[in-house]
Amino acid sequence: VIPDSRLDALLAEDAPHGDLTTETLGVGPLPGRISYTAREPLVLAGVEEASRLLARTGCTPRVLQASGASLQPGELLLEADGSAAALHLGWKVALHLLEQLSGIATRTRRLVDAASAGAGGRPVPVAATRKGFPGTRDLALLGVRAGGGIAHRLGLSDSLLLFAQHAVFFGPGGLPEAIARLKARQPEQKVVVEVASLAEALAAARAGADVIQVEKLPPAAFAEVAAACHALPTPPRIAATGGVDESNAGAYAAAGADLLVTSAPYAARPAEIRVEITRR
């Protein structure tokens, strides 16, 4: 649940002291209607929050499609009645939120579909990294989830992920001990280890890593890693990461990935949504 104060901050960012144009024109009190319609095929996200934004400016909104819905061009998704002043205050903030989040959702869905197609029915979740615009994780994850994706990790506090940048401190050869320590002390957490080669992957797997996150191997090389790891007595889950996008998601899934870890959703271009304001 996005708090009211967060929504109010989005509105205040755009109009800290009201809408100068509409107020100066003197048309503020006139009644009107705003409608948001898909201009292209898209997966909708953020519509409940956009609706709340419009309500907070004084409009009466109606949500016509839920987040997660696949829309075709021309489908109406959100509508609101209100004064010209209220409509203009909420118009663009609601629009930009819808466009950004639906862009993320649409791209996530494409990744999910590609992974699913490549996997031949095996579930291969698509997990979004932390690499979005700082300060937007709460909103961006709404888009990811609407698209059918999940969060790779919410941040540093909730999960165990060993990078080479940790090994710098515990030293070469310290991985088995490091993994053992993490597993012993955090028995409710899986241990995820990022690796860059087959050798590293096998080392991590043998040391007990629950998830091996393979960074920037092409699908063919990735397939070798996955096969080798899956053949172990206690096989870890194998995640592909680093440059994973819709062009290669299917290939990674076909190559045996149990999971795709990707920043691609955050780089989505905003979905195109048409706004119409009419007088009532």
Site for a copy of itself in 71-100 (CB under 8 A): 84, 88-89, 91-93, 96-97, 99-100
Buried b / exposed e across 161-184, counting CB within 10 Å, b at 16+? bbeeebbeeeeeeebeebbeebbe
Q: Which of 120, 121, 155, 173 binds a copy of itself (CB under 8 A)?
A: 155
Least distance from a copy of itself to the Cβ atom of residue 217, Å: 19
- The smaller minimum CB distance to a copy of itself, of residues 193 and 217, is found at 193
The stretch near a copy of itself (CB under 8 A) out of 68-76, 157-165, 217-225, 241-249 is 157-165
Q: Which of 12, 199, 227, 232 binds a copy of itself (CB under 8 A)?
A: 12
- The smaller minimum CB distance to a copy of itself, of residues 6 and 62, is found at 6
Least distance from a copy of itself to the Cβ atom of residue 89, Å: 7
CB-based burial label for 231 (10 Å; 0-12, 13-18, 19+): exposed
* Nearest alpha-carbon partner for 216 in 202, 197, 193: 197
Least distance from a copy of itself to the Cβ atom of residue 65, Å: 15
Q: Which residues within the stretch 181-240 sit at the binding site for a copy of itself (CB under 8 A)? A: 181-182, 184-190, 192, 210-211, 237, 239
* Nearest alpha-carbon partner for 95 in 148, 53, 147, 139: 53
Distance in angstroms (rounded) separating the CA atoms of residues 80 and 210: 49
Least distance from a copy of itself to the Cβ atom of residue 70, Å: 18
Give the rounded distance of the alpha carbon of 32 from its chain centre. Answer: 34
Q: Which of 20, 120, 121, 173 binds a copy of itself (CB under 8 A)?
A: 20
* Nearest alpha-carbon partner for 241 in 260, 267, 220: 260
- In this structure, the number of other CB atoms found within 10 A of the CB of residue 92 comes to 13
Q: Which of 42, 127, 204, 225 binds a copy of itself (CB under 8 A)?
A: 127
Least distance from a copy of itself to the Cβ atom of residue 220, Å: 22
Least distance from a copy of itself to the Cβ atom of residue 212, Å: 11
Q: Which of 141, 198, 204, 217 binds a copy of itself (CB under 8 A)?
A: 141
Q: Which of 178, 195, 198, 240 binds a copy of itself (CB under 8 A)?
A: 178
The stretch near a copy of itself (CB under 8 A) out of 35-43, 71-79, 111-119, 149-157 is 149-157
Q: Which of 61, 132, 147, 250 binds a copy of itself (CB under 8 A)?
A: 132
Strand order in the sheet with 237-241: 150-151, 126-128, 259-262, 237-241, 211-215, 191-195, 160-162
Distance in angstroms (rounded) separating the CA atoms of residues 207 and 232: 12
The stretch near a copy of itself (CB under 8 A) out of 21-29, 67-75, 199-207, 219-227 is 21-29
Distance in angstroms (rounded) separating the CA atoms of residues 54 and 46: 12
Q: Which residues within the stretch 26-65 sit at the binding site for a copy of itself (CB under 8 A)? A: 26-27, 30, 32, 56-58
Distance in angstroms (rounded) separating the CA atoms of residues 148 and 24: 45
Distance in angstroms (rounded) separating the CA atoms of residues 90 and 123: 40
